[in-house]
Structure 1
Amino acid sequence: MFRPLATLSLAIALSLAGCDGKSVQQANTGAPAQPQHGGVLRVAFDGDPNCIDPQQAGNNTALNVGRQLVDSLTDQDPQTAEIVPWLAERWEVSDDSRQFIFHLREGVTFSDGSVLDAAAVKANFEAIVALGAQAQLASTYLAGLETVEVIGPLSVRIRFKQANAQFLQATSTMSLGLLAPSTLARSAEQRCQGALVGSGPFNVKSFEHNRLVRIEARADYAWPSSLAEHKGRAWLEAIEFHILPESGVRLGSLLSGQIDVNTSVPVQDEAVLQAQGIASIARSNPGIVFNLTPNESRPPLDDAKVRQALNKAIDRSQFKGVISRYQKPASSVLASSTPYYQDLSAVLAYDPQGAGQLLDSAGWHKGADGWRQRDGKRLNFALDYWQASTPVLELVQQQLRQAGIELRLNKSTIGQVSLLQASLNYELWFFNLTRADPDVLRTVFLASGRNVNVRGPLALDQTLIDSAASLDVQRRGALIHQASRELLEQGHVIPLVEAATVTAFRDAVRGLHYEASTRLQFYDTWLAQPGSH
């Protein structure tokens, strides 16, 4: 049996109760000028995308590029979290949520002229599975895929081995965006470097690492999401993504008009931009908060007492002095804007005495110099990171110092950090992951999945699997709560700060907005002429 679309939409709306729909997304309030074609939008990133293939990428800069290149089967309303049509005009989901049938719209082509049909969907999903771990997010969304069957030129049936409550939302992400068969035939590395052909409103023109990504509008584009504000080709002629790691350079470039959009506004620049009358949009990121995740294959992080002590030694209330007004200290592994979020701040309470007792019982005692030692070795950890979050990490460093724990901070490039992570050569991993569905926990922490903890199987894994399979709203919520609590109580994750994305832009930039996963969608963006309102 299959559920009709209306019933499915109601189920989604119920399951996403509590999702934050109050994002700050209004900036230009004067009498609107009319949208117009043309212009090159200059956008600043704070780091190199590294790999711009949306099916492989996991970082926001890459996904912000990838979203412009590919279309998805569905889209997700950023205000209501409802799943709505895009490439698929309609769909049916079986009562056990194991089978999904999508009926595609006619006339869609990839930019090389090849047809986007049911066979192309089948080829894409099977290619993602073949990529394995290289498809950092996409492969986890397709875990348990059994078959992809073409049942008509524009109809495809996707079957999973078990119930898969998260899959419909996953089809709205750029990670499951569709690429032309000619792209699927290329190597993963070629695709990373820009050899990509999608059906989206823009095509890759060039990609120079640590300098620039240029994408150009596709003239015959005619199948935007049902959420789009216009039809036809994108308003912009092209977009240039400039890599500007230094926040001061991004600020100066925006104020001087050398760039049009700064996608990464640090807290210290917010007041300056406000005083200068620079427009901005901001939105909380659903998903996993910024955190430190321990590599449990390495001692002493294989000891739960040490991991638990790290959580207790951090006073998250102090973060308020160094984070954006759009952010807040973490109160769980999930951000409060995520469906099924529950406040677990009591588990994360600052308890320096408890931290000390745990470390003492684990054999790590304070020496005369204040550092904790065992067998003549100091308790210390290295953290290699690339994000613009140094003030928070420096505060964590100071707090852990009070507990006798040394945290060595090493800011590097995303490429260097990615190499360390890929080789499992890290002690603590600093990251957040945005997704408007709590299944992001299974994506990241499942031992048979991405397994950022590098740990062996635990009972936790079955809880994560069951949470992705449950179709009952209350049961799924209970399982997400159980998994979240266990991740915190066993020190598998040390949450720090809820992520928020703040984007500033010149007055000429219009129609800029975030999609449901707080990444930028440029299809409706346009540039007004000087003096327009």
Structure 2
Amino acid sequence: MTAAAQRIRCHFTQPGGSRLMARRFGRFRLAACIAATAVVVASCGQAHGATETGSQVKQGGDLVYLDAEVTASMQIQVSYWQNSLVKDQLLDRLVYQDPETFEFVPWIARSWTVDEPGTTYQFVIRDGVTYSDGTPLDAASVKRNIEWLAEGDKPKGIPRNAWFPKVTAVDTDAAARTVTVHLAEPNAPFLAALSMNTAGLVADATIDASKEDQSVVTNLIGSGPFVAESEIPNKEIRLVKRRGYDWAPATANHQGEAYLDSVTVVPIEEDSIRVGALRSGESDALRYTQPPDEALLQKEGFTVLGLRTPGLANVLDVRQTADFVDDVNVRKAVMYGIDRDQIVSTLYSDNWKPANSIITEGALGWKDRSDEVRFDPDEANRRLDASGWTTRNADGIREKDGRQLELSLYIDVYDHTSKPLYELVQRQLRAVGISLQLRQTDFANYPKATADPKLSLRRNGWPTADTFRLTQNYDSDQGDLFQLEGNDPYLDGLLRSQVTETDRTKRIALIEQIQDHVIDNAYTIPLLLDTQIFAVAPHIHDFRNAANSVPWFYDTWTEHK
């Protein structure tokens, strides 16, 4: 038995360990001990205020969702992908990014205006909204949230929101229910920043809490359609319907309360256990399966969704401080030595596609750069020969001045398909004489391990509300993930200009130039379009996702009550 399975087995059998030990749906019984496909179940909820569409009652029932990762600190400004699903259920935002059109539409802000310079935003706040503790979400609360997000809380060690521009003032008019935000300079991604769960609106009690208390999910007092009722750390988070909720985004599929009585989020890191739980009927949905399991689940009647929302492509960032990769010919050889079509056809399903740029189709300013993002082993070999890597050792690895052409990469702990992916890339690069050394670590140590300046390559790429993420990642005054250390002022200029340029056409041109410059210099190596895989049981309906790909359970309903 694996360590993950052992932990889950213990979770089931500890007295009083989990509410998931209770009866689920009145027809599934949880065994005291479950073998290789150990699974969990949720307690049954009573349907309240049921509504009907045709013959189907949507209100009521419970959903168990299995995630591939354990949540981390829930403090609002902390941005962890694995926290996004939970935060999205609890926290409303001023504006909503529609997951179909990706346009920004009203939510807690009924409307907004922006002045011509792009430095003053006025929001009209929806009337009658309350947090789950009963306090009003009014103009004064929005003002306090924005100031807190813009400034952080230094005495508590809480950082400012990394997406927020410099805010010079926030004014309110209680009678008109308006909040006016004044920026130091134009900021094109400001609405995007306000739409993210890292800008989720919270009650004063949450803002007033200590950093440690803010990190606990049950202390996130939001105005969303669900409330965090309980948490067993590293084992489950139980969310329950917010009674009286009636302020969904303008483009939501319904208004009023969520349909589900509860959602229980259970982290199970082992793929086979998540799949076994879904197949056995003890869970209702999951994130991440290995590609071979996608076909199996579809054959058995489950819905498998491969979501590719706009954002950054799945890439390998090249760290200029590592050995050998300060040579553009070496970087280009890596670019040309990878056969992306073979990767998809060998390892993945039709839900996956090769990348052809550093951002994905649908992202603002996306440009097809398949002219450079291509498999061309002859050009890879020519480039390496030109840089003096003309000798190969007995293993076929190129050598120069007594040193092997060896690069390094950690297996990505956030992508359950990364090990076979990188092993295939390793074989492909070996064919052109590059040795790729694969390293492994765990979740806790991955951030520190991958910050090593001598690490050649590091995986990057996620769905994102705006291409501002490029600036966060690569501006030498911000993430500097290429480790250029200010030695490419042209790139820094482009990255900064795309943030302050509010003319859409001009901004698109800047984003295209960023893609061209990064790809022409092979600062990063595009691999795949970032894809999030979900599998859903047949009795679950209207399983929808937010614009950041994570599920949003507001519209979801179950046949099982």
Return the match for 2:299 from 244, 257, 275.
275
Deviations along 1:182-208, one digit per CA (max 9) or x if unpaired, are 222334454334232212122223444
Is structure 2 residue 262 aligned with structure 1 residue 231? no
Query: Unmatched 5+ residue regions in structure 1?
Result: 1-30
Return the match for 2:353 from 328, 351, 354.
328
C-alpha separation between the residues in 2 aligned to 1:332 and 1:135?
35
Deviations along 1:20-46, one digit per CA (max 9) or x if unpaired, are xxxxxxxxxxx9643433322100111
Cα RMSD of the aligned pairs, angstroms, is: 2.7
Return the match for 1:385 from 407, 412, 430.
412
Is contact 1:47-1:210 (8 Å) kept? Answer: no
Query: Unmatched 5+ residue regions in structure 2?
Result: 1-52
Is contact 1:284-1:337 (8 Å) kept? Answer: no
Q: Secondary structure at the match of 1:182?
A: helix
| 1:299 corresponds to | 323
Q: Does the C-alpha gap of structure 1 residues 495 and 373 become closer, same or farther in structure 2, counting only changes over 3 Å? A: same
C-alpha separation between the residues in 2 aligned to 1:47 and 1:116?
32
Is contact 2:165-2:190 (8 Å) kept? Answer: no
Q: Secondary structure at the match of 2:282?
A: coil
Q: Percent identity?
A: 30
Q: Secondary structure at the match of 1:312?
A: helix
Is structure 2 residue 99 aligned with structure 1 residue 99? no
Is contact 1:285-1:498 (8 Å) kept? Answer: no
How far apart are residue 484 of structure 1 and its match? 0.8
Report which stretch shifted further, 293-302 or 195-204.
293-302
Q: Which has the higher contact order (CA 8 A, sep 6+)?
A: 1
Q: Secondary structure at the match of 1:273?
A: helix
How far apart are residue 303 of structure 1 and its match? 4.0
C-alpha separation between the residues in 2 aligned to 1:526 and 1:412?
39
C-alpha separation between the residues in 1 aligned to 2:313 and 2:504?
23
Deviations along 1:205-239, one digit per CA (max 9) or x if unpaired, are 34445432222222232222122233333222221
Return the match for 2:266 from 242, 263, 273.
242
| 2:198 corresponds to | 175
Is structure 2 residue 374 aligned with structure 1 residue 349? yes
Report which stretch shifted further, 479-488 or 209-218.
209-218
C-alpha separation between the residues in 1 aligned to 2:398 and 2:165?
42
Q: Does the C-alpha gap of structure 1 residues 33 and 264 become closer, same or farther in structure 2, counting only changes over 3 Å? A: farther
Give the counterpart letter for 1:267 in structure 2: P
Is structure 2 residue 503 aligned with structure 1 residue 481? no
C-alpha separation between the residues in 1 aligned to 2:387 and 2:106?
54
Q: Secondary structure at the match of 1:287?
A: coil
Is contact 1:47-1:414 (8 Å) kept? Answer: no
Q: Does the C-alpha gap of structure 1 residues 177 and 487 become closer, same or farther in structure 2, counting only changes over 3 Å? A: same
Is contact 1:179-1:196 (8 Å) kept? Answer: yes
C-alpha separation between the residues in 1 aligned to 2:183 and 2:270?
45
| 1:318 corresponds to | 342
Is contact 1:384-1:417 (8 Å) kept? Answer: no
Q: Does the C-alpha gap of structure 1 residues 49 and 425 become closer, same or farther in structure 2, counting only changes over 3 Å? A: farther
C-alpha separation between the residues in 1 aligned to 2:407 and 2:547?
39
C-alpha separation between the residues in 2 aligned to 1:226 and 1:123?
24
Is contact 2:306-2:352 (8 Å) kept? Answer: no
Give the counterpart letter for 1:450 in structure 2: G
How far apart are residue 333 of structure 1 and its match? 0.4
Give the counterpart letter for 2:114 in structure 1: V
C-alpha separation between the residues in 2 aligned to 1:184 and 1:423?
35
Return the match for 1:67 from 88, 97, 102.
88
Q: Secondary structure at the match of 2:462?
A: strand
C-alpha separation between the residues in 2 aligned to 1:305 and 1:140?
34
C-alpha separation between the residues in 2 aligned to 1:497 and 1:33?
43
Q: Secondary structure at the match of 2:478?
A: coil
Q: Does the C-alpha gap of structure 1 residues 375 and 207 become closer, same or farther in structure 2, counting only changes over 3 Å? A: farther
| 1:145 corresponds to | 167
